[in-house]
Amino acid sequence: MRRAPARLLVVVLGVLATLSVAGPAAAHVGGGAAGSNYDARVTSVTPDVPGIRVRVLQFGDEIELANDTATEVVVPGYDGEPYLRIGPDGVWRNANSAATYVNLDRFALVDVPAHAREGAAPDWEKVSTKSAYVWHDHRTHWMSEKQLPPQVAADPGAEHTVFEWTVPVLHGRTPIAIEGVLTWSPPPPPWLVWPVHVGLVLVALAAGLLARTPRPLGVLLVAGATAAVWHAAATPAPPESLSSHAGALLSAAMPALLAALVAGLGFRAALRGRGAMAGLMAVVLGWLLLVQGLPDVDVLWSANALSGGPQLAARIAVGLLVTLGFGLVAGGIAAVRRFRETPRPSGTTPSGATDPVPVG
């Protein structure tokens, strides 16, 4: 057991070093809300021009447009003035467009400078060297922060179409209509999901506090690591305007890969009867699960989850990350305190094997 604290220190230092490189990784690369009762999607792009790709991000808060053609796409502002130019030589934004400023705040609570008036000559500033850009657009989301749409307020237990929207753009001289819809869905009932979450925390705590062997703890380690790996694998594709797609995905995947390694070490220790070491690995894994789960915890009380996989699976994964995260930290500490490892008599097992002995 004298080696256990030293081993744990090495693992913890490795965790901290990895996370300092990875940064705050969430299932949604780039941050923002992971859950919402609203959802927006593109229903059509007319005409469909090869080389132009459009998608909605963050449940309708942002639009991404990628233009691989040789012709610029011009995005008008809310008064019809030129707002963005997206083309082969990069992205240009009009400093004299009011949209440049009102798009900085989700609810347009900004002061527009006097020079950004209707009819002002464009003042183009280059904002990206790529031919793709993400911007916040007020036409695709609900603008009232503290007030539900009337149809939702009248019947909050049903799904609703809030409104249909259109964002017009110009591809050269060709007008293109990006059309979509904003919907609202009721969140999951608290009485159904929260007892399950509390139960999972108690199961993990009991595995370290009450179980006669560390094997139940080892099973929970595998379950937590599986949720972490799936959560990372379901990361939505990052915006094309990011400088490094591979770097963004690797940053999101690093905590999950480390969680799988720690879980493997802990499961092996549990199978060999090394309860204290399994408990130490449970504490480390619990923190890793919380690093992944807590930034996305809002999916637990939201109807929609930001994920590249099924919505239900995304909520289950985050629920496991958070509940097993807390449970494994507490259960792992309990296991370390309860189990001590004593060598068996020489000749009865392979050299170095130990038995877990509950104490206290």
Residues in the chain: 360
Token pair 């796409």 is at which residue? 73
Q: For the segment 298-329, what is each residue's pLDDT rounded down to a tens digit?
A: 999 999 998 888 988 999 999 999 999 999 99
The secondary element (H helix, E strand) that includes residue 74 is: strand 73-76
pLDDT of residue 343: 52
Q: Which amino acid is at 269?
A: A
Segments making up each domain of the chain, as ranges: 3-32+188-358, 38-184
**Best CA proximity match to 256, nearest among 325, 196, 334:** 325
DSSP-derived secondary structure letter, 26: -
Q: For the segment 288-297, what is each residue's pLDDT rounded down to a tens digit?
A: 999 999 999 9
Q: Which residues pair with 79 in a beta bridge?
A: none
pLDDT of residue 12: 56
Distance CA 28, CA 215 (A): 33
CB-based contact 27:314 (threshold 8 Å): yes
pLDDT of residue 145: 80
Number of neighbouring beta carbons within 10 Å of residue 90: 15
Sign of torsion over alpha carbons 346, 351, 356, 360: positive
The CA R_g of the chain, rounded to the nearest whole Å, is 26
pLDDT of residue 191: 80
Distance CA 249, CA 245 (A): 6
Whether the model clears a pTM of 0.85, i.e. scores above it, the answer is: no
pLDDT of residue 185: 96
pLDDT of residue 21: 47
CB-based contact 40:59 (threshold 8 Å): yes
DSSP-derived secondary structure letter, 121: P
Residue 43: strand, helix, or coil? strand
Give residue 70's region: left, alpha or beta (phi > 0; psi -120 to 50). Answer: alpha
Tokens matching residue 156: 């909050």
CB-based contact 142:108 (threshold 8 Å): no
Token pair 């007030």 is at which residue? 147
Q: Helices marked H in 86-238 — which ranges? A: 99-102, 150-154, 190-209, 215-233
Residue stretches of the chain with pLDDT short of 70:
1-32, 242-249, 340-360
Token pair 């009865």 is at which residue? 348
pLDDT of residue 345: 55
**Best CA proximity match to 66, nearest among 171, 141, 179:** 171
